[in-house]
């Protein structure tokens, strides 16, 4: 079975890149652009992402809003009933 170059199994193998193939990295892409250019790129990326969003139709939005309001009202009612019951139980236990 042949080992890959630089494998742990071969004790003398090392992963070295020749000096001619190494790239000098001074600061990456960010160092080449000023803060205003970076801000403009950021803004363009935001607009591009917002164009990808699938916006709901008016009918879907109405349905989703109704479902959320009904759910919140049901949860308010549930918490109110539990609170009322625990309040009366505490008054019964502690006088």
The reply to whether 78 falls in a domain is: yes
- Count of domains for the chain: 1
pLDDT at 6: 55
How far is 94 from 86, CA to CA, in rounded Å? 12
The reply to whether 8 falls in a domain is: no
How far is 67 from 84, CA to CA, in rounded Å? 26
pTM for the whole structure: 0.49
pLDDT at 33: 79
For residue 80, is pLDDT > 60?
yes
The reply to whether 80 falls in a domain is: yes
The reply to whether 14 falls in a domain is: no
pLDDT at 95: 81
The reply to whether 62 falls in a domain is: yes
The reply to whether 85 falls in a domain is: yes
DSSP 15-54: ----GGGPPP-SSTTGGGS-HHHHHHHHHHHHHHHHHHS-
The reply to whether 19 falls in a domain is: no
Domain that holds residue 59: 55-94
From 89, 88, 86, 67, select the one nearest 78 (Cα to Cα): 86
pLDDT of 13-66, one tens digit each?
Answer: 555 555 555 565 555 555 577 889 999 999 999 999 999 999 999 999 999 999
pLDDT at 63: 98
The reply to whether 76 falls in a domain is: yes
């Amino acid at each position: 079975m042949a080992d890959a170059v630089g494998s742990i199994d071969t004790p003398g193998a090392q992963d070295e890149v020749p000096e001619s193939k190494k790239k000098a990295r001074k600061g990456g892409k960010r160092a080449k652009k000023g803060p205003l250019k970076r801000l403009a790129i950021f803004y363009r990326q935001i607009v591009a992402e917002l164009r990808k969003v699938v916006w709901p139709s008016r009918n879907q939005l109405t349905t989703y809003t109704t479902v959320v309001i009904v759910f919140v009202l049901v949860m308010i009612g549930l918490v109110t009933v539990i609170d009322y019951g625990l309040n009366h139980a505490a008054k019964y236990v502690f006088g």
